Amino acid sequence: MMKKKVAFYTLGCKLNFSETSTIARDLVEEGFERVDFSENADMYIINTCSVTENADKRFKSIVKQAQKSNPNAFVAAIGCYAQLKPQELAAVDGVDLVLGATEKFKIADYVNDLSKNDFGEVHSCEIEEADFYVGSYAIGDRTRAFLKVQDGCDYKCTYCTIPLARGISRSDTLQNVLNNAAEISSKGIKEIVLTGVNIGDYGKGEFGNKKHEHTFLDLVKALDRVEGIHRLRISSIEPNLLKNETIDFVAQSNSFVPHFHIPLQSGSDAILKLMSRRYLTNLYVDRVKKIREVMPDACIGVDVIVGFPGETEEHFLETYNFLNELDISYLHVFTYSERDNTKATELTGVVPKKVRNKRSKMLRGLSVKKRRAFYEGQLGSTRTVLYEAENKEGYIHGFTENYVKIKTPWNPSLVNTLHEIKLTEIDDDGMVRGVEVGSMVSAQSYN
Residue 443 banded pLDDT, cuts 50, 70, 90: very low
Over residues 389-410, the mean pLDDT reads 94
pLDDT of residue 447: 31
Is the pLDDT assigned to residue 442 strictly greater than 70?
no
pLDDT of residue 180: 92
Q: For all residues of the chain together, what is the average pLDDT? A: 90
Identify the weakest region by mean pLDDT among 201-210, 222-231, 280-289: 201-210
d(CA 416, CA 163): 36
pLDDT of residue 445: 35
**Three-class SS string for 299-353?**
EEEEEEEECCCCCCHHHHHHHHHHHHHCCCCEEEEEECCCCCCCHHHHCCCCCCH
pLDDT of residue 55: 63
Residue 102 banded pLDDT, cuts 50, 70, 90: confident
d(CA 200, CA 236): 9
DSSP state of 175: H
Percent of residues, the chain, with pLDDT higher than 70: 91
d(CA 46, CA 120): 14
In 3D space, the residue among 295, 283, 291, 225 whose CA is nearest the CA of residue 255 turns out to be 225
Identify the weakest region by mean pLDDT among 44-53, 93-102, 203-212, 418-427: 203-212
In 3D space, the residue among 51, 26, 42 whose CA is nearest the CA of residue 113 turns out to be 42
Is the pLDDT assigned to residue 1 strictly greater than 90?
no
What are the residue boundaries of the structural domains of the chain, listed by start? 5-129, 136-376, 381-436
Quick one: which H or E segment has residue 54?
Answer: helix 53-69
Sheet strands (E) in 340-417: 382-387, 395-400, 405-409
Is the pLDDT assigned to residue 160 strictly greater than 80?
yes
Is the pLDDT assigned to residue 109 strictly greater than 90?
no
pLDDT of residue 143: 77
Identify the weakest region by mean pLDDT among 130-139, 218-227, 364-373: 130-139
Is the pLDDT assigned to residue 126 strictly greater than 70?
no
Identify the weakest region by mean pLDDT among 122-131, 202-211, 306-315, 397-406: 122-131
Domain 136-376 falls in which CATH fold? pyruvate-formate lyase- activating enzyme (3.80.30)
Q: What is the side-by-side strand order in the sheet with 43-48? A: 33-35, 5-10, 43-48, 74-79, 97-99, 121-123
The full length of the chain comes to 447
pLDDT of residue 117: 73
Angle value at C-alpha 292, between 287 and 293, nearest 5 degrees: 95
pLDDT tens across 312-343, in order? 999 999 999 999 999 999 999 999 999 889 99
Is the domain covering 381-436 a CATH 2.40.50 domain?
yes
d(CA 172, CA 9): 25
Is the pLDDT assigned to residue 108 strictly greater than 90?
no
pLDDT of residue 14: 82
- Record the pTM: 0.87
d(CA 155, CA 89): 27
pLDDT tens across 258-312, in order? 999 999 999 999 999 999 999 999 999 999 999 999 999 999 999 999 999 999 9
d(CA 163, CA 141): 28
Domain 5-129 falls in which CATH fold? Rossmann fold (3.40.50)
What is the sign of the dihedral through the CA atoms of 101, 102, 108 and 113? negative
At 142, the amino acid letter reads: R
